[in-house]
A and B are shown apart, each in its own frame.
Chain A
Amino acid sequence: MAAARSVAAGVTDPELPMLTLADLGVLRGVEVVDDSHVVVEITPTYSGCPAMAAMRDDLVRALTGAGFEQVEVRISLHPAWTTDWITPAGRVALAAAGISPPGPAPSADGPIPLTLLPTARQVRCPQCDSPATELVSEFGSTACKAQYRCTSCLEPFDHVKEI
């Protein structure tokens, strides 16, 4: 059981290869049915996340390599993924790779208020640690990231946006 869990937890995200699926919080469960059969549950970050097929294939490959003949990958949709599930180790790995980790996610219950002004976040530059940063766009290179720039070192960088 522990072996299957650690093999699955060690698989990395195809688009954020510095993060494991466990660090990203998309690995929702690993259940060993018997010596040859394991069931893994993953959840998409965004509805259109194109990396799900690659995640599934990587999990199947890793667990098959660890001796499981039957690897079932199930999708979990509820509760919806939130950036709050990114582990402390995952946040450190993101920052080390030059990606600003997310702050606390807003509550997703009740009516969602309209926000006409740019989202106010305390984002520090992952390159030079300056707090002088500005939002370029709420949409970035993948669905889960916003684009920022640092007005101190002038480097652009990605910020994992809170959902």
Chain B
Amino acid sequence: MNSRTERPAEDEHDSAYSGLLVNDAHWAFGAAPVPEGHGEDPLAGLDTTVPAGVDAPTLATYALMLGDDALVMSHRIAEWTSNAPDLEDDIALSNIALDLLGQARLLLARAARADASVVPVLPEGSPAPPEDALAYFREAHELRNVRLAEVVNGDFAEATVRILLFSVWRLATWERLRSSADHVLAAVAAKGVKELAYHRDYAARWFVTLAQGTPESRRRLLAALDALWPLWPELFDTHPVEAAAAESGVGVDPAAVRDAAEAVLDQVLDAADVPRPSAPRRAGVLGRTGRDGMHGEALGRMLAEMQSVARAHPRGVW
């Protein structure tokens, strides 16, 4: 018996909404006087000085790469909202998308603080903060995300495999990024690993469940793994910016996390009794891949939808 139902009906705590009505200001953002420069800044008050001996454009571009991975992956996962197979997974996918969006926001803000020249110039009077300018006012070729993040969504098995590959790799990278010489990146990573651990476990459990489920669920899972496998090796390529970031102590060389990531992935494949796929890697275009701004055409369409409102109203106040 729910003890709460025994309370008098007039008890203000009886309504799930009562707490929300105490203070209408919760729903009127911007109503309070907010000091200049502290509005929506996710790094308000943090020391964002570029560490000594670190090249600012390198740090900014490296932060953009990590931020763009999260931004694009978040948007693809968010497309599942209201479309997942059941309510629990709809909520799970939305939560994962939200965590990644938060990571993207911090990283894009960090990039802008390290080197303001990476931020697109907006029309005079635009109130968009730098991280929004970076998210909503760059073209596809200016994004540095790995191509795994941008693939058009498939079925739920595809979402499972993609989140598994992405979070196995990202967590292996971020475990090391916790000791970045840039204390903003280090703090973002220390927070992010806790979130990514939940994402990885969620995808790994579904991977095993689908592989060991029905012939149809296994068929779909293997098809998704085969389709995404060619994009796995790209995650461990070392772009010159990543090499420079690793060299100066602020970044992680992707090649250095390959063994750790493969070991975790093998654990999942073993538990699911799924053989490692053998499909060759997807080639770049003249050797250029996601980190160079070379993307599939799907990213352009995704951005067109994601950015349309912000671009139509660059002076809009939300």
A and B interact: yes
A residues with CB within 8 A of B: 12, 14, 17-18, 39, 41, 44, 46-50, 52-54, 56-58, 60-61, 64, 70-81, 98, 108, 110-112, 114-119, 127-128, 136-141, 143, 147, 153, 155, 161, 163
User: Which partner residue on chain B sits nearest A43 by CB separation?
Assistant: B191
B residues with CB within 8 A of A: 1-4, 19-20, 22-23, 25-26, 29-35, 38, 40-46, 88-89, 91-92, 94-96, 98-103, 105-106, 171, 175, 183-184, 186-188, 190-195, 197-198, 200-202, 204-205, 208, 260, 264, 267-268, 271
Would you call the interface of chain A mostly helix, strand, loop, or mixed?
loop
A-B contact pairs, 23 of them (CB 8 A): A17-B19, A46-B102, A52-B42, A53-B29, A56-B34, A57-B29, A64-B32, A72-B35, A73-B44, A73-B45, A74-B46, A80-B191, A108-B193, A111-B260, A115-B201, A116-B208, A137-B92, A138-B92, A138-B201, A139-B91, A139-B94, A153-B1, A163-B194
Collect the chain B residues with CB atoms within 8 Å of residue A50's CB: 98
Check A75 against B197 for contact (C-beta < 8 Å).
Answer: no
Check B271 against A78 for contact (C-beta < 8 Å).
Answer: no
Interface centre among A39, A49, A56 (most CB of B within 10 A): A56
Collect the chain B residues with CB atoms within 8 Å of residue A41's CB: 45
Collect the chain B residues with CB atoms within 8 Å of residue A56's CB: 34, 38
Collect the chain A residues with CB atoms within 8 Å of residue B19's CB: 12, 17-18
Check B200 against A48 for contact (C-beta < 8 Å).
Answer: no
Check B91 against A140 for contact (C-beta < 8 Å).
Answer: yes
A75 in complex: contacting residue of B2, B31, B45, B205, CB < 8 Å:
B45
Collect the chain B residues with CB atoms within 8 Å of residue A117's CB: 205
Collect the chain A residues with CB atoms within 8 Å of residue B22's CB: 17
Check A53 against B92 for contact (C-beta < 8 Å).
Answer: no
B102 in complex: contacting residue of A49, A78, A116, A141, CB < 8 Å:
A49
- State the CA gap A81–B188 with chains docked (Å): 11
Collect the chain B residues with CB atoms within 8 Å of residue A80's CB: 187, 190-191, 194
Given contacts A60-B33, A114-B267, A116-B205, contact A53 B102 (CB under 8 A): no
Check A48 against B32 for contact (C-beta < 8 Å).
Answer: no
Check A75 against B194 for contact (C-beta < 8 Å).
Answer: no
Check A137 against B91 for contact (C-beta < 8 Å).
Answer: yes
Check A47 against B204 for contact (C-beta < 8 Å).
Answer: no
- State the CA gap A39–B29 with chains docked (Å): 20
Q: What distance in Å separates the Cβ of B11 from its nearest Cβ neighbour in chain A?
A: 13
- State the CA gap A149–B34 with chains docked (Å): 41
Q: What distance in Å separates the Cβ of B27 from its nearest Cβ neighbour in chain A?
A: 9
Collect the chain B residues with CB atoms within 8 Å of residue A161's CB: 198
- State the CA gap A23–B200 with chains docked (Å): 30
Check A108 against B194 for contact (C-beta < 8 Å).
Answer: yes
Give the A-B contact count at a CB cut-off of 8 A: 160
Check A74 against B44 for contact (C-beta < 8 Å).
Answer: yes
Collect the chain A residues with CB atoms within 8 Å of residue B100's CB: 48
- State the CA gap A50–B95 with chains docked (Å): 11
Check A47 against B106 for contact (C-beta < 8 Å).
Answer: yes
B2 in complex: contacting residue of A73, A74, A127, CB < 8 Å:
A127
User: Which partner residue on chain B sits nearest A48 by CB separation?
Assistant: B102
Collect the chain A residues with CB atoms within 8 Å of residue B183's CB: 78
Check A47 against B88 for contact (C-beta < 8 Å).
Answer: no
Check A111 against B175 for contact (C-beta < 8 Å).
Answer: yes
Q: What distance in Å separates the Cβ of B264 from its nearest Cβ neighbour in chain A?
A: 5
Which 3 pairs, one residue from A and one from B, show the smallest C-beta to C-beta distance?
A: A74-B45, A48-B102, A47-B102
- State the CA gap A46–B46 with chains docked (Å): 17
Check B25 against A75 for contact (C-beta < 8 Å).
Answer: no
- State the CA gap A75–B30 with chains docked (Å): 18
Check A46 against B99 for contact (C-beta < 8 Å).
Answer: yes
User: Which partner residue on chain A sits nearest B184 by CB separation?
Assistant: A77
What 19 new A-B contacts, CB under 8 Å, besides A77-B46, A111-B260, A139-B94? Answer: A39-B45, A46-B191, A47-B188, A47-B192, A47-B195, A48-B101, A54-B26, A57-B31, A57-B32, A72-B45, A73-B45, A74-B44, A75-B41, A80-B190, A108-B190, A116-B205, A118-B205, A127-B2, A153-B1
- State the CA gap A100–B143 with chains docked (Å): 42
Check A138 against B268 for contact (C-beta < 8 Å).
Answer: no
Collect the chain B residues with CB atoms within 8 Å of residue A143's CB: 95, 98-99, 195
Check A61 against B200 for contact (C-beta < 8 Å).
Answer: no
User: Which partner residue on chain A sits nearest B95 by CB separation?
Assistant: A139
Check A112 against B42 for contact (C-beta < 8 Å).
Answer: no
User: Which partner residue on chain A sits nearest B74 by CB separation?
Assistant: A48
